[in-house]
């Protein structure tokens, strides 16, 4: 695929990367919710690291993730250069977004990763945003959807 169209091949490449990350670091609920449609190529994945002031220097990431009273996370910041960050080939795009929670230390040690689907999975009315334990994985919503996350673990 890469030799015929390198640009297109980046989409499954990034999706495979997101699958690997979810497989190794997602909790059971997150794996159950996201992996099957991603492996079936019904949804694609992205990685959202880069910001205007944070390219090679990933530790300079400023995007913030703040826990809301309803258990969801509010994520604000600016990401740039996100390959396949938007397209209409699939119903959903699962963004893995690097951000800092309020008590995070400076540099790369203070970076957490959040699952930010472009559309909240239908089956996830109560489970879409399962936040994950020690790796600080969590989810948020990018647009209003009828679902909520459990209280952040704060770990």
Ligand X SMILES: Cc1cc2nc3c(=O)[nH]c(=O)nc-3n(C[C@H](O)[C@H](O)[C@H](O)COP(=O)(O)OP(=O)(O)OC[C@H]3O[C@@H](n4cnc5c(N)ncnc54)[C@H](O)[C@@H]3O)c2cc1C
Q: Does 55 bind ligand X (CB under 6 A)?
A: yes
Asked if residue 140 binds ligand X (CB under 6 A), the reply is no
Q: Does 8 bind ligand X (CB under 6 A)?
A: no
**What b/e readout covers 78-104, taking b as 16+ CB neighbours within 10 angstroms?**
ebeebebeeeeebebbbbbbbbbbeeb
CA 59, chain centre distance (Å): 18
21 interacts with ligand X by CB under 6 A: no
Distance of alpha carbon 117 from the chain centroid: 7
83 binds ligand X (CB under 6 A): yes
Taking CB under 6 A as the binding criterion, the range among 19-27, 46-54, 110-118, 129-137 that sits at the site for ligand X is 46-54
When the beta carbons of 50 and 124 are compared against ligand X, the nearer one is 50
Nearer to ligand X, 17 or 71 (CB): 17
94 touching ligand X, by CB under 6 A? no
Site membership for ligand X, residue 44 (CB under 6 A): no
Which residue number, 8 or 81, has a Cβ lying nearer to ligand X?
81
Write out the residues near ligand X by the rule CB under 6 A: 46-50, 55-56, 81-83
């Amino acid at each position: 695929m890469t030799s015929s169209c390198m640009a297109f091949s980046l989409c499954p490449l990034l999706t495979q990367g997101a699958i690997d990350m979810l497989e190794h670091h997602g909790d059971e609920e997150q794996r159950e919710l996201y992996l099957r449609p991603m492996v079936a190529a019904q949804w694609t994945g992205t990685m959202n690291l880069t910001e205007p002031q944070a390219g090679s220097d990933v530790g300079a990431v400023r995007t913030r993730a703040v826990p809301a009273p309803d258990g969801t996370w509010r994520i604000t910041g600016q990401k740039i250069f996100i390959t396949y960050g938007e397209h209409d080939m699939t119903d959903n795009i699962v963004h893995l977004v690097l951000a800092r929670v309020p008590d995070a230390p400076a540099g790369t040690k203070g970076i957490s990763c959040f699952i930010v689907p472009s559309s909240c999975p239908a089956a996830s009315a109560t489970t879409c945003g399962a936040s994950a334990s020690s790796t600080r994985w969590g989810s948020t919503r990018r647009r209003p959807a009828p679902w909520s996350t459990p209280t952040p673990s704060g770990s």
